[in-house]
């Protein structure tokens, strides 16, 4: 049974930082695709960052809206993926979701690329 448990959300002022964590269990973490998505009220869930294993090393990729401000990292020993968020803006306010798929498919930027999802953690950025 795959479980993803997010933590680290909260309220922060614009320009501040937060680090989200997602602890995974029930899958082979090191070779699983991991992703972060977010959903603001009234909007569709959107891709934020993703990570995939490859023979040449891990691949990490970001949405243009967060590139240079957010950093995804993973600790395979702890089965945990992190999202370090810096220079936060009010438009980053959303529920952030961790996603995983043990059989990486698609582009990794679509919700359909992932079979498993966490419960979400709220991030609120005040202006």
Q: pLDDT tens for residues 29-86?
A: 998 999 999 999 999 999 999 999 877 778 999 999 999 999 999 999 999 999 999 9
Integer Cα distance of 98 and 96 in angstroms: 7
Q: Where are the beta strands (DSSP E) in the chain?
A: 3-7, 10-13, 18-25, 33-39, 46-52, 59-62, 70-75, 80-85, 94-101, 116-117, 121-126
Asked whether the beta carbons of 52 and 72 are under 8 A apart, the reply is no
Average predicted confidence (pLDDT) for the chain: 95
Integer Cα distance of 49 and 34 in angstroms: 9
């Amino acid at each position: 049974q795959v479980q993803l448990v997010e933590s680290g959300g909260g309220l922060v002022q614009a320009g501040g930082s937060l680090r989200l964590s997602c602890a995974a269990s029930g899958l082979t973490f090191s070779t699983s695709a991991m992703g972060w998505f977010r959903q603001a009220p009234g909007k569709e869930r959107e891709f934020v960052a993703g990570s995939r294993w490859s023979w040449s090393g891990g691949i990490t990729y970001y949405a243009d809206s967060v590139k240079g401000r957010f950093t995804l990292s993973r600790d395979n020993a702890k089965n945990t993926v992190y999202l370090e968020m810096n220079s936060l803006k009010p438009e980053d306010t959303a529920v952030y979701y961790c996603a995983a798929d043990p059989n990486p498919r698609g582009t990794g930027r679509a919700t359909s690329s992932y079979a498993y999802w966490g419960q979400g953690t709220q991030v609120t950025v005040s202006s």
